[in-house]
Amino acid sequence: MNQLLEPDAARQAEERLRGLVAGLALGSRLPPERELAVDLGLGRTVLRTVLMELTAEGWLERRQGAGTFVARTPGSPVATGLSEELSRRGVAFEVLVLDVARVPAPAHTGLGGDVVEVRRARGVGGETVSLETTWLPGAWAVGLDVVSLSGASLYGLLARHGDAPRAVAERLAAVIADADTAARLGVPEGSPLLEVGRVARAEDGRVVEVSRTRLRADRFHLRSSADDRHPGASLAALLTITPEENR
């Protein structure tokens, strides 16, 4: 906490603001600073200092011209997926659940026994831009089906079942589209794709998700700046939809 503030004032301000943030849903917009200062009984200088602290810790996200938003809540996943990152960037997209099945764990996942395999397609502007296959261990996942997953956040479901991803290991590779993938993405066979492989673990170290996402290389590019980084930021946080006019 900033040492320029009186210790008691700083502590009380932090506690009040943390309490407010804890009671809001992820993505909620905080009231304007003037209104927030009045509601919390804080001076504007103290409030701004605490807002800066909570933003630096990743609890809040300040968007120029839009306001301050809740970027993280107690118990929420630290890791984020592509859908969460596209939403954070204000990109409109659709997710279509293609198939949900219980299958023997593929050898490359490093999982044992049966897992639930979820295949999804993601669309932007009427075009399919990515295909994702996810393997979920755990008895709770057996009850999942296309209906229950349609419109649902997969990471939100993991969190509700006590398997919130807290750490991820990822790899990025350049691959080419085979016939089936090309047909689903609407690109010629042999087209370049980006492939993101991910292993997500819960706080106790258990693997709670293994996934492989293939993205059209003509629709995504990697972009990184200090302003883009936040707790849980992963490869998904660096993937940006390429504007139509730049394709």
Rounded Cα distance between 89 and 243, Å, is: 13
According to the model, what pLDDT value does residue 48 have? 84
Residues 211 and 102 in one domain: yes
In a domain, residue 95? The reply is yes
CATH of the domain at 16: 1.10.10.10
Q: Distances from the Cα of 158 to the Cαs of 40, 47, 155, 216, 246, in angstroms?
A: 34, 34, 5, 27, 36
Residues 52 and 154 in one domain: no
Range of the domain at 22: 7-70
Lowest mean pLDDT among 62-66, 158-162, 188-192, 231-235: 231-235
Is the separation of the CB atoms in 175 and 193 below 8 Å?
A: yes
Confidence of residue 8 (pLDDT cuts 50, 70, 90): low
Residues 147 and 219 in one domain: yes
Confidence of residue 78 (pLDDT cuts 50, 70, 90): low
Residues 126 and 183 in one domain: yes
Q: What are phi and psi of 218, to 5 degrees?
A: -85, -5
Confidence of residue 229 (pLDDT cuts 50, 70, 90): very low
Number of domains in the chain: 2
Residues 130 and 158 in one domain: yes
Whether 47 shows a pLDDT value over 60: the answer reads yes
CATH of the domain at 105: 3.40.1410.10
Q: Is 229 helix (H, G, I), strand (E, B) or coil?
A: coil
pTM of the model: 0.65
**How many C-beta atoms surround the C-beta of residue 9 within 10 A?**
15
In a domain, residue 1? The reply is no
According to the model, what pLDDT value does residue 231 have? 46
